[in-house]
Structure 1
Amino acid sequence: MTSPLTPPTPPHRRPAQSSRSGEAERQPWQLPASGTDVTGLTGATGTAYGPDGQDGPGMKTEVREGAVITVAVALGGVLMGLLWLWLAPRVPLVGDVTGNTWVVYLKDSEGEQAVGVDGTFTLLALAFGVLSAVAVFLVRRRGGVPLVVALCVGSLLGAVLAWRLGVWLGPQQDVIAHAQAVGKGVTFPAPLKLGAKGALLAWPLAALVVHLGITALFGPRDPEGYDSVSA
């Protein structure tokens, strides 16, 4: 006698859920519960956000850092001015008396010492531009517009400071009085003078180009994609 067929046991079914809970399951991202500290949460690209909701240290902090960098770079002009005074060639002058009038003229009218003075300043400015750009990058690799502006402004102020300091510490500006002091026919150095004022831009231009270059090559990179989320 054949036993009757027993109907298969129905599979276990998941209890129905409310539409509200179903929507919650379908949402992969949930807002944090009330009272949760969200300071310092990391965005989808891995960028850390501060209390103001923006990436990085904040504009106020960047402006303060920029002010410090401006002053520090500008003070480098003191060293550059001393080096310019030491390394720049001297332009020889000679004093003479015509009647009761003192006259001063170049001892070597075909000399290139004046060109050498401008060239020395330009080369020093380029070197200080490279050094300041590397130093600023090592201090703050993140970069930013305030940092670049501070570097350029500080470099220009440093170049002007170097120029004025070298002129001030250099030979006497009153060449007639200097000629009278050393005597007729005695060679004495001309005042330190920067003929090509465009050399003042050599430092900020070199600093800008070098800083942008090393930032592009060695600066921090943004993540290329989103982090994978494990199921």
Structure 2
Amino acid sequence: GRPLSRATQTYFLVALRSLLRYWSLQGLEVLAPDRIELGKAPSRSLKFLDGDQLRRLLAAPDINDLRGLRDRALIETFFSTGLRLSELARLDRDHINLKTREFGVIGKGRKPRIVFLSDAATEWLDRYLQTRHDRWKPLFIRMKGKLDATPGGPGMRMSTRSIERLVQKYVRLAGLGVKATPHTLRHSFATDLLSNGADLRAVQELLGHANLNTTQIYTHVTNPQLRAVHRKFHSGNQ
């Protein structure tokens, strides 16, 4: 048959370790579990867009209509906040505060964090929302298909797949010559901050990789140091 993938091999080795540990606890003479070595995980290449690529991508949407304004606002929001695809897709209009330029999200493991909007993201979100004369709750809505008559219009929300296709469409239109996804924009967000001198620990918190003080930071209390990091180092504020 086909050779097992690295992940499958690791899964079986971990299971074998657990079995040996159990037998050892039962008093059986078996090979020490620690003698079973797990294979090293292959190194993952980090894909991100450089400054020129980002500028071309952000300029790709045609901003003369609602669809183009939505798309520009969406890509700007990705780059400004470093949100995961699922986090961005779940956003509602009332989540966004364009005055404070910050809002709370619940990320992986139900961990809350605060993210920030750059000057550019704030401007394009404002322009996009000013063209919205509907009462649908989702921040980013689809522009085709049957209208949703349900209160709040949950069916108008863009799916994660449609957002992914949108990003890939503009990567092609911008002629970047690379494969890029919404997660590439998340990496680009972190790289932009770090390359401009931001502290790694602060960037980890902005990405939601660190443990946060749950409700205190999620509501309206912002960590001023993180705000300052975003304000100082994100290129959308330059």
Give your verdict on TM over 0.5: no
Normalising by structure 1, we get a TM-score of 0.21
RCO higher in structure (CA 8 A, sep ≥6): 1
Point out the structure with max Rg over C-alpha: 1
